[in-house]
Amino acid sequence: MEKVYTVEDYQKGVQVDRRTEVVPGARQALWSLANLIDPLDWAEVFAREAPVELDLGCGDGSFLLEYAGRHPERNFLGVERLMGRLNKIIRKRQRLGLENVKACRIESAYLLKYLLRSGSLQAIHLYFPDPWPKRRHERHRLVQSDFVGSCLKALRPGGGIYLRSDHALYFEQMCQFFDQEPGFAAVQTPEELRELQTDFEKQWRAQGLEIHYAAYAKKEPPAPQPGLSSGQTGNETHI
Ligand SMILES: C[S@@+](CC[C@H](N)C(=O)[O-])C[C@H]1O[C@@H](n2cnc3c(N)ncnc32)[C@H](O)[C@@H]1O
């Protein structure tokens, strides 16, 4: 029977090693945060230097593992708050032997805001975030202007965020937030990503639901103009 975790267990989620011994491969798959303050050092998490991609709310991890299998030259962190889903990822990772995948049990917005260094990510995948369809629950949605600011900070220039949803209104709202951020430019979702369906996506497609896609790239900083000292863009007002 699936173990039921208490609130206390949840809060101790940073110390997963002891509890998750039951799932073979847990130690290798899960990244156990030393504390909730120090930003992650990717070279320590993955024991190597490579571009890092996040899958926020990665669910059972089918997309994460399939995509990571196609890109052994990149590192992938799956972020998920539900232990049962993390256990599935641990088992699949073990079966596939994918060392470039880690998973972490943490709240996505907190991780982005407090635990990532500026410019340390190559990509963020956010697929089917909970839509909180009731109007009075909308404030629980992950994508808010604060979240967009955290994504911008965490991504390196040229890095991208990829969005999918079956919920037309939430999707529209997400796009509005990203469109309003001048540091992002709307881009096409790469074909390679489109052809990989997530676990929830397979369910929604089977029910005939329409899937919405969007992608945004972090703009490169403006090139310095000749004759200006470093840090000057030419747009400064001089009094
Ligand atoms: C609708 S499911 C989508 C799962 C997966 N992305 C897919 O497309 O199959 C949303 C997932 O996000 C997780 N989740 C929701 N809010 C979260 C948060 N704030 N931090 C981390 N995980 C979250 C849920 O537990 C769930 O697994």
Q: Which residue has the higher pLDDT, 215 or 36?
A: 215
Ligand 1 atom closest to residue 142's alpha carbon, by position in its atom list: 19
Taking CB atoms and a 6 Å cutoff, what residues make up the pocket around ligand 1? 57-59, 79-82, 85, 107-109, 127-128, 130, 142, 198-201
Return the residue matching tokens 């490579």.
Answer: 50
Return the residue matching tokens 């982005």.
Answer: 112
Distance 131 CA to ligand 1 centre (A): 10
pTM of structure = 0.89
Mean pLDDT of 102-111: 94
Cα 205 to Cα 224: distance, rounded to the nearest angstrom? 47
Among residues 9, 20, 89, the alpha carbon closest in space to that of 55 is found at: 89
pLDDT for residue 232: 55
174-230 pLDDT, tens digit each: 999 999 999 999 999 999 999 999 999 999 999 999 999 999 999 998 888 887 655
Contacts of 25 (CB under 8 A, 6+ apart): 90, 91, 93, 94
pLDDT for residue 48: 97
Q: Which residue has the higher pLDDT, 120 or 32?
A: 120
pLDDT for residue 158: 98
Inform me whether the pLDDT recorded for 116 exceeds 70. Answer: yes
Among residues 50, 34, 31, the alpha carbon closest in space to that of 120 is found at: 50
Q: How far apart are the first and last CA of the chain?
A: 71
Task: Indicate the fold that domain 7-218 takes in CATH.
Answer: Rossmann fold (3.40.50)
Q: Which residue has the higher pLDDT, 170 or 239?
A: 170
Backbone φ, ψ for residue 79 (5° rounding): -115, 125
What string of DSSP letters covers the chain?
A: -PPPPPHHHHHGGG-HHHHGGGSTTHHHHB---S-SSSPP-HHHHHSS---EEEEET-TT-HHHHHHHHH-TTSEEEEE-S-HHHHHHHHHHHHHHT-TTEEEE-S-HHHHHHHSS-TT-EEEEEEES-----SGGGGGG-S-SHHHHHHHHHHEEEEEEEEEEES-HHHHHHHHHHHHH-TTEEEEPPPHHHHTS--HHHHHHHHTT---EEEEEEEPPPPPPPTTSPTT--S-----
40-74 pLDDT, tens digit each: 999 999 999 999 999 999 999 999 999 999 999 99
> 130 an active-site residue?
yes
Q: Place 33 in a pLDDT band, splitting at 50, 70 and 90.
A: confident
pLDDT for residue 12: 55
The domain limits of the chain are: 7-218
118-157 pLDDT, tens digit each: 999 999 999 999 999 898 898 999 999 999 999 999 999 9
Catalytic residue among 17, 38, 41, 130: 130
Burial 2-24 (b: 16+ CB within 10 A, else e): eeeeeeeeeeebeebeeebeebe
Ligand 1 atom closest to residue 200's alpha carbon, by position in its atom list: 9
Q: Which residue has the higher pLDDT, 30 or 201?
A: 201
Lowest mean pLDDT among 61-70, 82-91, 155-164, 226-235: 226-235
pLDDT for residue 228: 63
Q: Place 3 in a pLDDT band, splitting at 50, 70 and 90.
A: low
Inform me whether the pLDDT recorded for 88 exceeds 90. Answer: yes
